[in-house]
Structure 1
Amino acid sequence: MDEKEVESDASEAMEESQDAAAVIDLTEFDKNNSNNAIIQSKIPQICKDEPCCFGIDEAGRGPVLGPMVYGTSFCPISWNTQLGELGFADSKTLNEGQREALMKSIQDASDYMGYKVEILSPNYIANSMLRRNKHSLNAVSMDSAIGLLRLALADGVQVKEVYVDTVGDAKKYQDKLKGLFPDLDITVCPKADSKFPIVSAASICAKVTRDRATTGWKFVETNDFDKENYGSGYPSDPATKKWLAGNVDPVFGFSQFVRFSWSTSSLILDDHAFPVQWEDDDEEEEAAKGTASLLSFFAPKNADARQKKHQFFNERDLKQVTAM
């Protein structure tokens, strides 16, 4: 076989591989990956005409890097047997090639099967967990699952049975969903992705979408830092810890690729970033009037009641604003 024949065979193999790959359009998310994004298939007509089963699962709950993705999949209850025959299993037990192939199978079954996924950005997750009225990761997860189910119902999917891989206490979660959707048959349980094919399909949708969003992450920051070599993204990974410690700006912290609410991140910020005390605008106004800030009650007796921003901000006369 000569060189031209080898190149031709390699080109054909690449084209076949591309043809076999699932198509996931991340355009909207890539435009601004500090916000969440929903990606969804067209809804098969049969899913609007017949009672459907609906699966919910997530991918990327634990990592300190990248988004968490909630996935859902649905098909008529009458097609549940065929769904099992496609070979769905918990996405964590499959390799990347197997997950990609199953995602392609879901898309090829578009005449009777649909899906919706929500990409939850690291920025959204961290801000939710650190806001004044804290929103736990479980609450963020439940909000996404509920929102995707509501969206499917609004789009005309005749959901009858719902199967959910639990976060937190399964019974409390199930009771919460039953209170919101009293007309649906809802099952919430651990390891649902290995028990119900429709949840396994949702798991595949979530995992493949997260993998694409993570490996193709668009770093918008101009900082000169390593945009690769971040390991698995899990806090226990030494490569991830090394990447975090080596890619933190002393003033502006981390890239939006990082969930800065994770303890792994906050400890590195404590060690490598400048300490800055920010006040709420209303507290600054009260301090200017001579009224003590709430924070002042926890300060040393000889401390200035007006909290000081870091020298970096004072030198540049930088102030908080609420409008441009």
Structure 2
Amino acid sequence: FTAVLLAVRFYALCRLVSEIPEVCKTEDCCLGIDEAGRGPVLGPMVYGICFCPLSKKEELKDMKVADSKTLTEAERENLFEKLVEAKSYVGWALQILSPNTISTCMLRRTKYNLNALSHDTAIDLVQYALDSGVQLKEIYVDTVGPADKYEVKLSQRFPGIQVTVRPKADSLFPVVSAASICAKVARDRVVKGWNFAEDLGEVDTDYGSGYPNDPKTKAWLLKYLDPVFGYPQFVRFSWSTAQTLMDSKAVNVHWDDDEEDGEKAAQRQNNKSMLSYFSVSSGGNNQNATHQAHRFFTERRLKSLNTL
């Protein structure tokens, strides 16, 4: 599990799953859903499900599982290991949504907000459990948006299964607490072992909690803001914190468009055209001394052409 998490480079999304206990295929089961990392501007969001037979509810409760936010990291890790050891009757699955996936979805031309993404991810995980043969009779969910509307949506999507959507469900239902622990442990491990796709040298990993109001997180965002290409994939570029910094600190560029008359429109606005970052001096292939090529081009040995 740990090795897989540390090896993943998040171009899109990743699903990690446990084995399906045989007893979950023959007995009526309950399933809990929760997420970790909804608010941070850094790192992925992780959705988790945990399921077990109805006959094992008390055993799950006896593990002392609780809302992951009320536990220390060591306590969460210990409880996750207990859940793994109970593999004869406990199963889990995780959907890890990369920062790129989250931001790209939120910035679509057709509105697709974080609540819709969360709902669809939860539905996908429940469907995965059903497709795997888990005999689901009860689903418990920590609400995203209005609880009553979400409950109706899930009940219509999964007829015949009793659905309960409640605020703070992770502190009310042990099976949701277990899902919360799985999701939080996974996110913590991913963030700690993040594999930066970009060549940033020795990366400073002291980025705080990752939440927008954390001073350490703000300082990290400012330090790793590229004036042209923005942020590494670790950052949710759709978050207002990141967008505000890019608007104020990054270079304003003009995306050439025939309708806006390209370079001329950029000149009228006293702005830079995107094509200017590909241009070279009239003397040949040597870059203008005052305009060094970005590492994106030099690392790929890309050069501008004067003629075709």
Deviations 1:224-257, CA, capped at 9 Å, x for gaps: 4633111111101001001101111111111100
Q: Of 66, 84, 88, which aligns to 1:89? A: 66
Residue in structure 1 matched with residue 253 of structure 2 by the alignment:
276
1:199 has 2:176 as partner: yes
Deviations 1:166-209, CA, capped at 9 Å, x for gaps: 11111111111111111110001100000000000000000000
Residue in structure 1 matched with residue 291 of structure 2 by the alignment:
none
Change in 2 beyond 3 A, CA 1:34/1:130 = same
Mapped to 1, the partners of 2:144 and 2:176 lie a distance apart of 14
Structure 1 gap segments, 5+ residues each: 1-22, 319-324
Deviations 1:263-303, CA, capped at 9 Å, x for gaps: 10011111221123446xxxx5xx3xxxx47x99xxx9x96
Mapped to 2, the partners of 1:204 and 1:277 lie a distance apart of 46
Mapped to 1, the partners of 2:110 and 2:278 lie a distance apart of 27
Residue in structure 2 matched with residue 67 of structure 1 by the alignment:
44
Asked whether the equivalents of residues 46 and 112 of structure 1 are also in contact (C-alpha less than 8 Å), the reply is yes
Aligned pairs for 1:85-124 within 5 A: 85-124=62-101
1:267 has 2:212 as partner: no
Letter in 2 for 1:126: S
1:160 has 2:125 as partner: no
Letter in 1 for 2:277: F
Structure 1 residue 34, shift from structure 2 partner: 2.3
Structure 1 residue 150, shift from structure 2 partner: 0.5
Asked whether the equivalents of residues 275 and 310 of structure 1 are also in contact (C-alpha less than 8 Å), the reply is no
Task: Give the SS at the match of 2:48.
Answer: strand
Asked whether the equivalents of residues 164 and 188 of structure 1 are also in contact (C-alpha less than 8 Å), the reply is yes
1:311 has 2:288 as partner: no
Letter in 2 for 1:42: E
Matched residue pairs, number?
Answer: 279
Asked whether the equivalents of residues 56 and 203 of structure 1 are also in contact (C-alpha less than 8 Å), the reply is yes
Residue in structure 2 matched with residue 76 of structure 1 by the alignment:
53
Letter in 2 for 1:143: D
Mapped to 2, the partners of 1:34 and 1:277 lie a distance apart of 27
Q: Of 28, 32, 37, which aligns to 1:55? A: 32
Mapped to 2, the partners of 1:303 and 1:140 lie a distance apart of 41
Residue in structure 2 matched with residue 133 of structure 1 by the alignment:
110
Asked whether the equivalents of residues 54 and 161 of structure 1 are also in contact (C-alpha less than 8 Å), the reply is yes
Change in 2 beyond 3 A, CA 1:317/1:166 = farther
Structure 1 residue 310, shift from structure 2 partner: 5.0
Aligned pairs for 1:4-83 within 5 A: 23-26=1-4, 30-83=7-60
Structure 2 gap segments, 5+ residues each: 281-302
Asked whether the equivalents of residues 57 and 203 of structure 1 are also in contact (C-alpha less than 8 Å), the reply is yes
Asked whether the equivalents of residues 26 and 213 of structure 1 are also in contact (C-alpha less than 8 Å), the reply is no
Q: TM-score, normalised by structure 2?
A: 0.85
Structure 1 residue 133, shift from structure 2 partner: 1.1
Q: TM-score, normalised by structure 1?
A: 0.81
Structure 1 residue 104, shift from structure 2 partner: 0.3
* Greater CA drift, 233-242 or 309-318: 309-318
Asked whether the equivalents of residues 72 and 117 of structure 1 are also in contact (C-alpha less than 8 Å), the reply is yes
Mapped to 2, the partners of 1:25 and 1:150 lie a distance apart of 26
Task: Give the SS at the match of 2:139.
Answer: strand
Deviations 1:126-173, CA, capped at 9 Å, x for gaps: 111111113111111111101000111001111110000011111111
Task: Give the SS at the match of 2:190.
Answer: helix
Residue in structure 1 matched with residue 288 of structure 2 by the alignment:
none
Mapped to 2, the partners of 1:249 and 1:160 lie a distance apart of 50
Residue in structure 2 matched with residue 223 of structure 1 by the alignment:
200
Asked whether the equivalents of residues 25 and 39 of structure 1 are also in contact (C-alpha less than 8 Å), the reply is no
Mapped to 2, the partners of 1:275 and 1:311 lie a distance apart of 12
TM-align CA RMSD? 2.3
Q: Of 142, 153, 175, which aligns to 2:152? A: 175
Letter in 1 for 2:251: F
Mapped to 2, the partners of 1:177 and 1:195 lie a distance apart of 19
Structure 1 segments, 4+ long, off by >6 Å, are: none
